[in-house]
Amino acid sequence: MQPLQPSSLEQLKQFTTIVADTGDFATLATYTPQDATTNPSLILKAAQQDAYAHLLEKAIRDTASFSGSMEARSARTIDELLVLFGIEILKIVPGRVSTELDARISFDTQACIAKGREIIAMYEERGISRERVLIKIASTWEGLQAAKVLQQEGIRVNMTLLFSLAQAVVAADCNAQLISPFVGRILDWHKAQTGKSYEGSEDPGVRSVVEIYNYYKHFGHPTEVMGASFRNIGEIKALAGCDLLTISPDLLEKLKNDTAPVERRLSPEEGKKLAMRRRSYDEKTFRWELNEDAMATDRLADGIRRFAADTITLADLIEAKLQ
């Protein structure tokens, strides 16, 4: 009798750390990921489910004595809710959880620094070590400078909404713990522009992550690369060997039910062999290169708008309950 072929998910775990991309922590145990990530859209979706109503109610109760304005209290309640979700997730995953800052402060370095410190303090007050939390910050110039300060203070960051090598280079130079290149959103943009379909290693989102990964390994940057925002399992398999991959529950389920062979595609050794030019950016050259990359400029702005809109919707939901 032939032994059963391990699932694609189990095969992938041999090369890559698997991270669950969800606010629905009830599903996490099924896939045994090492880490988990959340964002405003995922938390909004989860907060509207009956299964998590108790967390929303607790966040509201915990801010009952808040003396500020309604807007300030709802903002504080959102922070409480994010941390409560993070704590529940950390009861399930052995590693880290990523908690995202309000996208509306993406262009304010000092606000990102202050909020990052505040979120970490909220976790630590509840007995969670800062080593188990990554603060997610949009990869704007301002966000990257905030990351540099937070990392110096021992607060680890996950640079999100990252679509270009320029963003990745500055993130590494700022000693970010981790970056999250958005594979699927890059693919979406190119499909809309060209009308073409892309698969596997030809996928422009996959190619972007491969370039960044190889750059980091070639020059010895310790910043971790975590591919994110996948549209199909083909993209995921094409990045087998990437440091981490954060994957939605529906794609985790497909990988779990798939038994096709998974081969390692990325490795530090191969990255070191490549001929590459070291890059460096100050604010002016970073902004110019980002401006010249129409896809990265569009996707970064769109991502910030989308996350901000979902944060506003969550705030409206909370304020309705507060009233």
Nearest one of 107, 108, 97 to 156, comparing CA atoms: 97
Residue for token pair 């001929």: 275
Gap between the Cα atoms of 245 and 225, Å rounded: 8
Q: pLDDT at position 1, please?
A: 44
At residue 224, the 3 state secondary structure works out as: strand
Region 104-119: mean pLDDT is 98
Q: pLDDT at position 66, please?
A: 83
Q: pLDDT at position 4, please?
A: 73
Asked if 179 and 139 count as a contact pair (C-beta separation under 8 A), the reply is yes
Residue 323 clears pLDDT 90, i.e. is over it: no
Helices 141-152 and 109-125 cross at an angle (nearest 10°) of 40
Residue 322 C-beta-side C-alpha neighbours within 13 Å: 24
Q: pLDDT at position 231, please?
A: 97
- Specify burial of residue 202 (Cβ count, 10 A radius: 0-12, 13-18, 19+): exposed
Structure tokens, 141:
């110039």
**Per-residue confidence at 64, pLDDT binned at 50, 70, 90?**
confident
Region 96-101: mean pLDDT is 97
What are the tens digits of pLDDT across the range 161-176? 999 999 999 999 999 9
Please give the positions annotated as active site: 136
Structure tokens, 18:
């698997």
Structure tokens, 134:
């990554």
Residue 318 clears pLDDT 90, i.e. is over it: yes
Q: pLDDT at position 289, please?
A: 98
Residue 75 clears pLDDT 70, i.e. is over it: yes
Residue 117 clears pLDDT 90, i.e. is over it: yes
Region 126-148: mean pLDDT is 98
Nearest one of 193, 152, 191, 148 to 171, comparing CA atoms: 148
Q: pLDDT at position 114, please?
A: 98
Per DSSP bridges, beta strands 17-21 and 224-227 are: unpaired
Structure tokens, 313:
């919707």
Q: pLDDT at position 2, please?
A: 47
What are the tens digits of pLDDT across the range 181-202? 999 999 999 999 999 999 888 9
Region 116-128: mean pLDDT is 98
8, 18, 180, 214 from 15: Cα distances, Å: 11, 9, 18, 16
**Per-residue confidence at 159, pLDDT binned at 50, 70, 90?**
very high
What are the tens digits of pLDDT across the range 304-314? 999 999 999 99
Residue 16 clears pLDDT 70, i.e. is over it: yes
Q: pLDDT at position 276, please?
A: 95
Asked if 253 and 9 count as a contact pair (C-beta separation under 8 A), the reply is no
Query: What's the pTM value of the predicted model, to 2 decimals?
Result: 0.95
Q: Is 37 left (phi over 0), alpha (psi -120 to 50) or beta?
A: beta
Number of helices (H), then strands (E), in the chain: 14, 8
Residue ranges and CATH numbers for the domains of the chain are 8-316 (3.20.20.70)
> How does the average pLDDT of the chain come out, rounded?
95
Output b/e per residue, 235-258; b: 16+ Cβ within 10 A.
bbbbbbbbbbbbbbbebbbbbeeb
